[in-house]
């Protein structure tokens, strides 16, 4: 039996995302949709894994906006539904969300946004809490694993009480951390999907679901928010821990609550500092805050990343000076806490020790010196493409083609593992010169390609992965064709959403729930747009780079090269070597080869290492994936491959 | 202020922050999932571990409250699985366990680290404060030092695999990789006890280098610093793995136990 379906009252170790999924199941969820993105993906994955047993419909949608639309339809039909994404996804979905929050929802609907303070696995540390304010919807933030489940369940109830979508925000350190959770019971839902639309336009529960008449619906939306605020006043998810008369009040939410707790106890401040943990962070429960703001004149607000709560608390405080008195606020605005990056118990300890004038516990200086000396001896370990990764080979060919072309062309990058090509030392050369949001590489390439009239004469390439292609690249490609932007567009097709763990996408023949579905073919889409399309195996370095050069030479057309090779970590490939690799020591000339060690300085496969005593290249067979690509980069033909007969 | 609620019933003695010897309930014959009563004071954020733990007791050589364990290695070495298996055993033994992990980009050949916090009292934050690791388990030796340099303290224990995975910067020649002798000397100087074992070679002999994570878990159990043993491991593996994969994991565990 899946852990996710553990019986009520059992205690299990759940990842934050599993707890969210369990909470949704306990709430009687019917439909869930999302787009993969770290750290959110496991919510949909877990729900998909039990879809059959719980009569759920779960899908990976083409992008986050579609995911919200799919989930909203279920809500309109009276079912409970959820849409799940990382912070960037909320940006993508925001256009529909702005209308949805105005039209309102019917069955309980929850938007889960898993964010990434510190950008541990993102190219930004954007915040979606401000969306809750802009969309005028309630925002909930679980502060531990039990709450991740309980708050999710409650979010559905809240949504049904106010007839609007509720946003639940998690962060990497919650979604990808694990802790004990006591399960509640799994309700047997018996809702039938029924969409009622023949009532009057002014009746959001029986009429058509639309955002007009705008002002009337907007008023109604704000009344819903007021109602949520009233419920927040009484919510057990907002709770104070601490003495009756603290010298300092810490207001915090999410995983920062756990950090704050730890910092307070490690400084021994339990009798001097109190913590007001808020699970309901927008709109702020005013009466509750008034009650606790009164306790002391020193207030510290601990949150990630931007001062969202801090601003809201200050606005509230400004409206009640007589009741609560003058306050000194500590937080991000006065720089007591860092304004960027993620927090941890140490950062909060340091801030608290300053504000409360106490010393942090320290380790003997001599020992610390020893640690520092040891740290100086170890090499950094940077991210790189995995051994056997098709992207390393693809960028190798792109680099070769750009060099041969000689006009200083460059690549507009996109979001996926291949974004690493923008970083040294992932690979020993640079080709990727821009990197932004999903699909924006090709849009930027269109723009660069139209700068010819202003003296711009470099060839422009853009790349994207297969999943990204469906998500956001198609409009940019059509734009390129329609506006005659001369670009060469390379699809790095590794047959799955590799970076987030191989979720299926429209190019594959299985759905999130494991059903057989028709594959949507990238080549045919590109051809239908009017592009010249070629397909190549990125492991064929010579053929691939030659194709690229022929594309770059042709002007006046949109060119698409699809590079197909399955990701090295994919379940189909993992642990299966196609070739046994060996460096022939007699042939390897080492530093004298004149190649400046192409193999180990430029290509940089982690499995192709350098023997410092012999001064020769050597394959580490424990990590080598047996892709065989390195054998074609060595000018001496010293790297030998033998096919593995299975 | 009760930031943590202790429960005297769970353990005969609970030491807060000390290194003293404590008697603990070890994994026993209790059911795989424990039933927990939720009382009136079980507000979100604070929860009693109200378990009548009827398991057999076992002396653990060295335990403190909370116990902070870091499992580190290089992406792809099975770090996440090792931390899950260990945490599963500890939850089953009646503890609050928090695992802090980051995966995603960091998996791609970079350093990876799981923080395991074990407490008999409450859920702790998923990040161990600097200088507060009690046990460091490293699947790769320089990763042990990387973690040690941030989370080490004079009472830390290190268990490290000796199989090296060279970082790109070393392969290109931009950086040096310290010798194993040097690494051992650093361990000897900065830890209270340490082991440097070749878990990967044992795993390769067994047919799959990725088993080295389980070899390390076997060694960790044998060190007798945590209330985990072969029986707890068997139970955890049986719960989470298909039958055909279990035996090789048990063998890897046993091989590890023989190495310390
Ligand atoms: S393996 Fe080939 S490319 Fe690398 S140093 Fe030897 S001869 Fe040069
Ligand atoms: S065959 Fe060569 S390029 Fe491929 S994984 Fe092995 S060492 Fe790396």
Ligand 2 pocket mutation, candidates A578, A625, A640, criterion most atoms within 8 A of CB:
A625
- Centre of ligand 1 from the C-alpha of residue A590, in Å: 6
Is B123's CB within 8 Å of A277's CB? no
Q: What integer is the mean pLDDT of B180-196?
A: 96
Which residue is listed with tokens 């702790």? B124
Give residue B105's pLDDT: 52
- Centre of ligand 1 from the C-alpha of residue A389, in Å: 20
Q: Is the dihedral of CA A68, A70, A76, A80 positive or negative?
A: negative
The partner residue sitting opposite B108, judged by closest CB among A180, A261, A386, is: A386
Alpha carbon distance B123, B4 (integer Å): 8
Q: In what order do the strands lie in the sheet with A487-493?
A: A432-434, A410-412, A460-465, A487-493, A559-564, A532-536
Task: Please say if the pLDDT value at position B232 is more than 80.
Answer: yes
Q: What integer is the mean pLDDT of B95-124?
A: 82
A628 CB less than 6 Å from ligand 2? yes
- A234 inside 8 A of chain B by CB: no
Which is the closest atom of ligand 1 to the Cα of A639? 1
pLDDT (tens digit, 9 = 90+) per residue, B26-42? 232 222 223 232 322 23
> A585: which 2 tokens?
């020591």
Is A258's CB within 8 Å of B38's CB? no
**In CATH, which of 3.40.50.1820, 1.10.10.60, 3.40.920.10, 3.50.50.60 is domain B30-258?**
3.40.920.10
A-chain residue closest to B140, CA distance? A381
Give residue B103's pLDDT: 63
Strands of chain B, DSSP E: 23-25, 57-59, 67-74, 96-101, 111-119, 135-138, 157-161, 193-197
Alpha carbon distance A164, A75 (integer Å): 10
> With contact defined as beta carbons under 8 Å apart, do A21 and A46 qualify?
yes
> With contact defined as beta carbons under 8 Å apart, do A291 and A323 qualify?
no
- Centre of ligand 1 from the C-alpha of residue A596, in Å: 8
Test the B interface: residue of A372, A374, A494 with most B CBs within 10 Å: A374
Chain A residues inside the 8 Å CB shell of B111:
381
Is A425's CB within 8 Å of B172's CB? yes
Give residue A216's pLDDT: 93
Give residue A225's pLDDT: 97
Task: Report which protein residue has its CA nearest ligand 1's atom 3.
Answer: A634
pLDDT under 50: residue ranges of chain A: none
Nearest-CA neighbor of A151 among A19, A333, A285, A284? A19
Q: How many CB pairs under 8 A join A and B?
A: 253
Alpha carbon distance A353, A362 (integer Å): 12
> With contact defined as beta carbons under 8 Å apart, do A496 and A466 qualify?
yes
Chain B residues inside the 8 Å CB shell of A374:
145, 148-149, 186, 190
Nearest-CA neighbor of A334 among A309, A284, A295, A300? A300
| Ligand positioned closest to the Cα atom of A541 | 2
Mean per-residue pLDDT of chain B: 77
> With contact defined as beta carbons under 8 Å apart, do B67 and B113 qualify?
no
Give residue A361's pLDDT: 79
Is B47's CB within 8 Å of A274's CB? no
Mind listing the domains of chain A with CATH numbers? 3-233 (3.40.50.970), 239-356 (3.40.50.920), 390-564 (3.40.50.970), 579-643 (3.30.70.20)
Give residue B1's pLDDT: 38
Give residue A559's pLDDT: 96
Q: Is the dihedral of CA A68, A73, A76, A78 positive or negative?
A: negative
- Give me the count of residues in chain A: 646
- Sequence ranges of the domains in chain B: 30-258
pLDDT (tens digit, 9 = 90+) per residue, B38-74? 322 232 333 333 332 324 334 454 567 889 999 999 9
Give residue B10's pLDDT: 32
Task: Please say if the pLDDT value at position B3 is more than 60.
Answer: no
Give residue B30's pLDDT: 28
Chain A residues inside the 8 Å CB shell of B108:
383-386, 417, 420
B-chain residue closest to A36, CA distance? B104
3-state secondary structure A617-640: EEECCCCCCCCCHHHHCCCCCCEE
> With contact defined as beta carbons under 8 Å apart, do A499 and A403 qualify?
no
A589 CB less than 6 Å from ligand 1? yes
Nearest-CA neighbor of B80 among B193, B240, B221, B252? B240
The partner residue sitting opposite A257, judged by closest CB among B45, B154, B175, is: B45
Which residue is listed with tokens 């042709």? A554
CA–CA min distance A603, chain B (Å):
10
| Ligand positioned closest to the Cα atom of A592 | 1
Question: Hey, is A83 helix, strand or coil?
Answer: strand
- What is the pTM assigned to this prediction? 0.91
């Amino acid at each position: 039996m899946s852990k996710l379906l553990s019986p009520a009252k059992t205690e299990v170790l759940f990842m934050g995302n599993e707890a969210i999924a369990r909470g949704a199941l306990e709430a009687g969820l019917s439909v869930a949709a999302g787009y993969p993105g770290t750290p959110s993906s496991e919510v949909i994955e877990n729900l998909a894994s039990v879809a059959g047993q719980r009569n759920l419909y779960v899908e990976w949608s083409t992008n986050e906006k579609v995911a919200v639309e799919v989930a909203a339809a279920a809500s309109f039909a009276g079912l409970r539904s959820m849409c799940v994404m990382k912070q960037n996804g909320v940006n993508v979905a925001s256009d529909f969300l702005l209308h949805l929050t105005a039209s309102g929802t019917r069955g309980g609907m929850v938007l889960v946004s898993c964010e990434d303070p510190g950008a541990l696995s993102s190219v930004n540390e954007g915040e979606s809490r401000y969306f809750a304010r802009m969309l005028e919807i309630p925002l909930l933030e679980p502060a531990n694993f039990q709450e991740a489940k309980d708050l999710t369940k409650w979010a559905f109830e809240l949504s049904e009480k106010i007839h609007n979508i509720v946003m639940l925000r998690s962060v990497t350190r919650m979604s990808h951390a694990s802790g004990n959770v006591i399960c509640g019971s799994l309700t047997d839902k018996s809702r039938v999907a029924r969409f009622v639309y023949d009532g009057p336009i002014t009746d959001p529960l029986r009429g058509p679901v639309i955002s007009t008449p705008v002002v009337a619906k907007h008023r109604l939306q704000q009344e819903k928010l007021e109602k949520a605020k009233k419920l927040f006043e009484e919510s057990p998810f907002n709770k104070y821990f601490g003495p009756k008369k603290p010298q300092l009040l810490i207001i915090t939410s999410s995983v920062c609550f756990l950090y704050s707790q730890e910092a307070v106890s490690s400084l021994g401040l339990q009798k001097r500092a109190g913590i007001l943990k808020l699970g309901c962070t927008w709109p702020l429960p005013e009466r509750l805050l008034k009650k606790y703001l009164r306790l002391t004149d020193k207030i510290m607000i601990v949150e990630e990343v931007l001062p969202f709560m801090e601003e809201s608390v200050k606005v509230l405080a400004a409206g009640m000076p007589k009741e609560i008195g003058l306050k000194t606020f500590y937080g991000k605005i006065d720089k007591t806490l860092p304004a960027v990056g993620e927090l941890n118990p140490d950062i909060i300890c340091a801030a608290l020790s300053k504000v409360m004038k106490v010393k942090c516990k320290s380790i003997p200086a001599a020992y610390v010196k020893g640690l520092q000396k040891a740290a100086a001896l170890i090499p950094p370990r940077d991210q790189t493409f995995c051994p056997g990764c098709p992207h390393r080979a693809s960028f190798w060919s792109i680099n070769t083609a750009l060099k041969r072309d000689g006009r200083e062309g460059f690549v507009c990058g996109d979001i996926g593992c291949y974004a690493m090509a923008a970083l040294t030392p992932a690979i020993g050369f640079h080709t990727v010169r821009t990197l932004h949001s999903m699909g924006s590489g090709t849009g930027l390439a269109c723009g660069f390609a139209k700068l010819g009239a202003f003296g711009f004469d470099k060839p422009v390439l853009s790349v994207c992965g297969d999943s990204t292609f469906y998500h956001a690249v198609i409009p940019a490609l059509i734009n390129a064709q329609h506006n005659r932007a001369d670009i060469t567009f390379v699809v790095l097709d590794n047959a799955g959403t590799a970076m987030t763990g191989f979720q299926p996408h429209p190019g594959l023949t299985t759905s999130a729930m494991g059903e057989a579905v028709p594959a949507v073919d990238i080549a045919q889409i590109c051809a239908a747009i009017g592009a010249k399309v070629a397909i190549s195996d990125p492991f064929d370095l010579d053929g691939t780079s030659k194709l690229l050069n022929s594309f770059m030479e042709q002007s006046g057309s949109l060119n698409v090269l699809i590079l197909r090779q399955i990701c090295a970590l994919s379940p189909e490939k993992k642990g299966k070597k196609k070739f046994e690799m060996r460096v022939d020591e007699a042939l390897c000339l080492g530093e004298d080869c004149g190649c400046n060690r192409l193999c180990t300085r430029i290509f940089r496969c982690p499995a192709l290492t350098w023997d410092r005593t012999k001064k020769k290249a050597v394959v580490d067979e424990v990590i080598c994936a047996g892709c065989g690509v390195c054998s074609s980069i060595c000018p001496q033909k010293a790297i030998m491959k033998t096919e593995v007969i299975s | 202020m009760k930031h943590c609620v202790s429960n005297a019933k769970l353990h005969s003695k609970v030491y807060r922050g000390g290194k003293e010897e404590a008697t603990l309930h070890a994994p026993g014959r209790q059911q795989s999932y424990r039933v927990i009563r939720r009382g009136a004071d079980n507000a979100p954020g604070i929860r009693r571990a109200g378990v009548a733990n009827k398991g057999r007791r076992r002396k653990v050589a060295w335990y403190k409250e909370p116990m902070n364990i870091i499992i580190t290695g290089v992406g792809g070495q099975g770090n996440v699985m090792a931390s899950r298996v260990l945490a599963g055993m500890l939850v089953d033994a009646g503890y609050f366990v928090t695992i802090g992990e980051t995966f995603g980009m960091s998996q791609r050949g970079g350093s990876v680290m799981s923080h395991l916090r074990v407490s008999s009292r409450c859920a702790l934050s998923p990040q161990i404060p600097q200088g507060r690791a009690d046990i460091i388990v490293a699947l790769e030796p320089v990763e042990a030092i990387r973690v040690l340099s941030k989370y080490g303290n004079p009472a830390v224990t290190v268990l490290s695999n000796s199989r090296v995975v060279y970082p790109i910067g070393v392969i290109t020649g931009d950086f040096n990789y310290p010798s194993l002798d040097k690494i051992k000397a650093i361990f000897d100087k900065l830890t209270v006890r340490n082991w440097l074992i070749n878990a990967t070679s044992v795993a390769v002999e067994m047919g799959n280098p990725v088993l080295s994570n389980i070899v390390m878990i076997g060694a960790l159990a044998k060190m007798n610093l945590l209330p985990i043993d072969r029986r707890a491991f068997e139970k955890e593996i049986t719960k989470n793995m298909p039958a055909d994969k279990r035996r090789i994991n048990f063998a890897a565990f046993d091989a590890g136990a023989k190495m310390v």
